[in-house]
Chain A
């Protein structure tokens, strides 16, 4: 069966520090992968999606970036975090017409 992993589960980082969130998928090959963010009191926002290794599409300009170094690995990064980067980050993959979400990472920027 397919599973999706995200880590860490929670993270508290100071403003200006770097960020690296990792997402891996098991049980499938060449999945379409997505990063979403849910800011407090707001809906979900698609940040990046990837249809293959090294292929990244950005939906919203910001200080975040994404990379896909391996088929089943999707990484969300930042060189310098802002307060506004706080939120709940979800990785997802697509199969059979629907999306499956990972457990999420709750990021608090202080």
Chain B
């Protein structure tokens, strides 16, 4: 079984500032890792994923995340945020051996970008 901890429930930042949303996971097997974004009143959208290969993963809208196996972390970063980045962000993990690739989600981090 897997679990995901998003360390910050709310992150307020000013426009054009850098941001890091933290995510730690635990698992007894190798994992795939994901970040999803949910804009107000919309469904989930995949930001980026780590399946294998390079530990630095680049996604849409200028976001990137780095997989750190020793620290079991998958933190999401953006060097300069915009007002339009205000949304809820979810970190998720699935076990590579898990039938059906079920996802376990963190509780979410609300990113609020202020002018």
Interface residues, chain A, CB within 8 Å of chain B? 32, 34, 36, 42-46, 49, 51, 59, 90, 94, 97-104, 106
- Please pick, from A34, A100, A103, the residue contacting B102 in the complex, using a CB distance under 8 A: A34
Contact B100 A49 (CB under 8 A): yes
- Please pick, from B43, B49, B51, B107, the residue contacting A101 in the complex, using a CB distance under 8 A: B43
B67 located at the interface, meaning its Cβ lies under 8 Å from any Cβ of chain A in the complex: no
Q: Is the interface of A mostly helix, strand, loop or mixed?
A: strand
Contact B101 A90 (CB under 8 A): no
Chain A residues near B108 (CB-CB < 8 A)? 42-44
Q: How far is the CA of A36 from the CA of B43 in the complex (A)?
A: 11
B34 located at the interface, meaning its Cβ lies under 8 Å from any Cβ of chain A in the complex: yes
Q: Which residue of A lies closest to B96 (CB)?
A: A97
Contact A99 B43 (CB under 8 A): no
